[in-house]
Structure formats: C-alpha cells, structure tokens
Amino acid sequence: MQYSGFVNQKPFSKFTSDYKLNNIEYDKRHLWHPYTSATQPLPCYEVIGANGVELTLADSQVLIDGMSSWWAAIHGYNHPHLNQAAKTQIDAFSHVMFGGITHEPAIRLTKQLLSMVPDGLNRVFLADSGSVSVEVAIKMALQYFACQGQPNKHKIITPRNGYHGDTFAAMSVCDPINGMHSLFKNVLAEQIFAPAPQTRFEQTWNEDDITPLADLIAAHHNELAALILEPIVQGAGGMRMYHPMYLKRARQLCDEYNILLIVDEIATGFGRTGKLFACEHASISPDIICLGKALTGGYMTMAATICTEDVAMGICQSAPGVFMHGPTYMANPLACAVASASLDIIATGEWQQQVETIETWIHQYLTPCADLAAVADIRILGAIGVVETKVSVDVAAIQAKFVESGVWIRPFGKLVYIMPPFICSEAHIKQLCEAIYSALDE
C-alpha cells in the first residue's frame, strides 16, 4: 500500500477557536508539562532548533543548554553519528515487537553494554524509560526471592533523599517526606528508609555514617529483598554527593545478609561523575543496575535493567518460570540503533578528558557563588555543578533571568544546578556559571 498523503480533516468544533492561538498560548491551555500546575502553569519557551550545546527559541534567541535535556544529551544535539544511525535504522524498520522476535540493533547494543558495565552483570532487559527500569529492577528482586522460597523477603530498603522515578514502585523508594510523592503515601508499598549518607565525597570517611543502615538491615534482613540507591550522587532528591566508602559498605552489608544491591545509575551512568559508572568510585559491582537518560545520547526514551546470571536464573527456576514483564516498545530497534551509536562515542574514551576538564571549569567559575548571601552550599563532581540556596527559588522569575543571560538552566526547590553536555567549551561553562551568579546575586 502506498501512502498518498494525509487526510484533510477539519478540527473538532469545540477546539476551532483554540487553533487560532499561537503555540505558547495553545500549549498553556492544553499541554501538561512535568511537575507543573494546570491552573497556574510555569512559563514555557518554544524551541525550534538544537545544535551542539545550543537551543534556538522561536524568537531566534540562542541559549546554551546547561541541563543536557535533563542529563541525557551528553554528546550535544544534532550529532552526525547519532543522526545517521537513526536515519539508517528508520529506513530498515522503526519497530517490531520483541516477543518471539529479535533484531541486530538489540543484540549489538547488548554486546556493547555488557562490555562496559561492572563485572558480573550479564542479562539485559531493555525497557522504555528510567522509571520503568526501576520498576523492573524491584520486580526482579521480589520475584527472585519468591522463587527461592522466601516470599517473606518482599521489602526494599533505601537511603532518604533518594529519587528513582514517578511510577508506583519507583515512588515507593523515593524519600517519603522530602520527596515529591507524599500525597500517595497511603497507596504505595511501605518500604524501609535509612538516614541519608552524611560524609561528603571529598571528606574523610566516617565509619559511623554506615551504622544506621547497618542497624536497619540487621533488624529487617529477613523481610528485605534489596537495597536500592543512587551511587555517589543523589539526583532529584537533593543533588547530594556522598563518600564512596558508604557504597562499598553497603555492598558488604548486602552480601552479609543475602540482600540484592540495586544501583540506580540512570542519572550518573555514562561518565557524568568522572567514572563511566558512579559505582566504580567504590570499586563495587551491583546485582542489578538501572540505566537510562544518556543511554541514547538524549535522542529518545530508552532504558536498561541489567542483572547478574544468578539473579536471572534464580527468577526462572520455579513457577511461573519466566520474568513477568514485557513493555510494548521493549528493545525498540530505532532506540537501540541510536543507543548503540551513542555508546560508540563513549567507547572512544574522549568523555574522560571532557568531563575532567569541565569539572575544573565548574570549580573555577561556580565557586564564587559561595560568597553570595543567598547561597547555602556548593557541590561539584565531574560534569555536575550544584548551588544550594537558603530558600527555594522562584522558578519562573529565575528562569526568565537565565534566558535573558542566554542560558537554559532549570532549577527546582533550593537547587540551581548544571549538568552540561560533555562537548561544552570553557566559554560555555563560564557563561552558565556567571548566569547563576548574576541571578542569585540579585
């Protein structure tokens, strides 16, 4: 069948008047953006192009992107290698179901992932998004112990100030007080929360820091299936950076008490902290790892949950004999092809020098913010720069100032931070940091 064109249909009459609105006004009336009110939505800026580290707005203003599109576009925008991978794959086929069918893009991507991830991880579940990968990881842990004849091990322990996504199992392991999901407390699975690690990344390790987690695991290990945490950097729950020894001790506790260790590297994976994966700072390997965001270089949604052979075999050794999960767009060939191209770039190793240099520049240009009256703390690691303010910022007002300064930075709460693309120049980082200083100085 040949497609001759689109059917020319008139819009529904109740929306006819709205079709006359400009894009921003129409968006305001009908589109729901992340973490935004329908009654008082935050202002939106229309992007009409993106190239390198720059976003072009509808009014032709160009902004340096300090967020990597929520930490994903590590190679920048409109990258020729990623573009070509997408074009080549879409000309072949863009999607087929993964049930009973496989394809070369998924196989190639799996080979690349298993060559990169920490030792021992061997089975790859290709999911739709970061939140789904966390759902899959938790489900793996629960089914693993159920299939070992230990259905009593059905709870998850996690440090406070964590964030793992907005779907229901993921929400259950986000901080129940300081997180974004307290409204759903009565319907979420009740998990066990340990105090957040306190020893900062750059400080001397304090062995007392692991005691609260150790005590809780000792008291509850008979009902614990897994410990889930964000290694080294807690993301949207507070952008806190903690000591690698906490992670090393956590691995030891999991081994001692027969608990699976799940590391959520959705935000930290693929070089962001200066290591390919943040758990490498502690020289540990998890039982399950969750990857996403930068996996496709920010081109499209995709994630991976990767587990050890022991976990995979343990899940399938008794009824129902299979892992009961299967997203419609699992292992989407187009996403796999672009992810594979992104990992090609990572495999060159160039990211290591890029991230190391960006960290130096962020130290140089962001540290002066510590002298501002509005600032409570500065935190920097790899290609991450965080300014914590003493009171929550007015997002709409400060965002407008950033746009005026030619940068795109999206703060939340008391946190004004940057996670720029790895291809940024010194001039880009300088402009991003100086924009933060200027906005907070006012």
The DSSP annotation for 91-134 comes to HH-S---SSS---HHHHHHHHHHHHHSPTTEEEEEEESSHHHHH
Residue 59 counted as domain residue: yes
DSSP of 195-263, one letter per residue?
PPP-SBTTSPP-GGGGHHHHHHHHHHGGGEEEEEE-SSEE-TTT-EEB-HHHHHHHHHHHHHHT-EEEE
135 lies in the same domain as 245 = yes
Q: Could you tell me if 354 and 437 lie in one domain?
A: yes
Q: Which of 19-28, 402-411, 418-427 has the lowest mean pLDDT?
A: 19-28
Q: Are residues 267 and 397 in the same domain?
A: no
CA distance 331 to 334: 9
- Smallest Cα–Cα separation from 277: which of 312, 318, 306? 306
Mean of the pLDDT values across residues 168-172? Answer: 90
Active-site annotation holder among 128, 144, 155, 163? 163
Query: Is 163 labeled as catalytic in the residue annotation?
Result: yes
How does the average pLDDT of the chain come out, rounded? 94
Question: Is residue 5 situated within a structural domain?
Answer: no
How many angstroms separate the first and last alpha carbons of the chain? Answer: 62
Q: Between residues 178 and 75, which one has the greater pLDDT?
A: 75
pLDDT band at 12 (very low <50, low <70, confident <90, very high): low
* Token representation of residue 358: 């960006």
Catalytic hit among 153, 155, 275, 293: 293
Whether residue 87 is contained in a domain is answered as: no
Q: How far is CA 263 from CA 227, 270, 287, in A?
A: 8, 14, 8
Only one residue has tokens 């690690």, namely: 197
Q: Specify the higher pLDDT residue, 62 or 169.
A: 62
Range of the domain at 373: 20-78+350-441
Same domain, 366 and 343: no
Count of structural domains within the chain? 2
User: Does residue 156 belong to any structural domain of this protein?
Assistant: yes
pLDDT of residue 15: 56
Instruction: Find the mean pLDDT for residues 425-434.
Output: 98
Q: Last residue of a domain, which of 347, 370, 394?
A: 347
In a domain, 14, yes or no: no
Domain boundary among 347, 380, 406: 347
Verify that 324 and 355 share a domain, yes or no.
no
Residue holding tokens 């000591």? 243
Q: Is residue 222 part of a domain?
A: yes
Same domain assignment for residues 147 and 215:
yes
3 is known as an active-site residue = no
What's the predicted TM-score (pTM) here? 0.94
CATH number at residue 401: 3.90.1150.10
Choose, from 18, 19, 35, 185, the residue flagged as catalytic.
Answer: 35
Residues 6+ apart with CB under 8 A from 32: 38
Could you report the per-residue pLDDT of 215-269, keeping only the tens digit for each? 999 999 999 999 999 999 999 889 999 999 999 999 999 999 999 999 999 999 9
Same domain, 330 and 364: no
- Taking phi over 0 as left and psi of -120 to 50 as alpha, with beta for the rest, 192 belongs to beta
Q: Is the bond preceding 320 in cis, omega lying within 30 degrees of 0?
A: yes
Catalytic site residue 437?
Answer: no
CA angle 171, 31, 42 (to 5 degrees): 75
Q: What is the CATH number of the domain that holds 299?
A: 3.40.640.10
Q: How far apart are CA 338 and CA 333, in angstroms?
A: 9
The verdict on 179 and 67 lying in the same domain is: no
Q: Residue 336 pLDDT more than 50?
A: yes
Q: How far is CA 395 from CA 36, 391, 401, in A?
A: 11, 12, 10
Separation of alpha carbons 388 and 383, rounded Å: 17
Judging by beta carbons within 10 Å of its beta carbon (0-12, 13-18, 19+), is residue 277 exposed, middle or buried? buried
Overall average pLDDT of the 396-417 stretch: 97
| Contact assessment for residue 66 and residue 423, using Cβ atoms and an 8 Å cutoff | no
Radius of gyration of the chain (CA): 22
**Is the same domain home to 253 and 378?**
no
Given a contact cutoff of 8 angstroms between Cβ atoms, the answer to whether 73 and 297 are in contact is yes
Residues 296-308 have pLDDT tens digits of 999 999 999 999 9
DSSP element (H, E) containing 375: strand 375-381
At a CB cut-off of 8 Å and minimum separation 6, what does 17 contact? none
> 176 in a domain, yes or no?
yes
- Do 133 and 191 lie in one domain? The reply is yes
> 345-385 pLDDT, tens per residue?
999 999 999 999 999 999 999 999 999 999 999 999 999 99
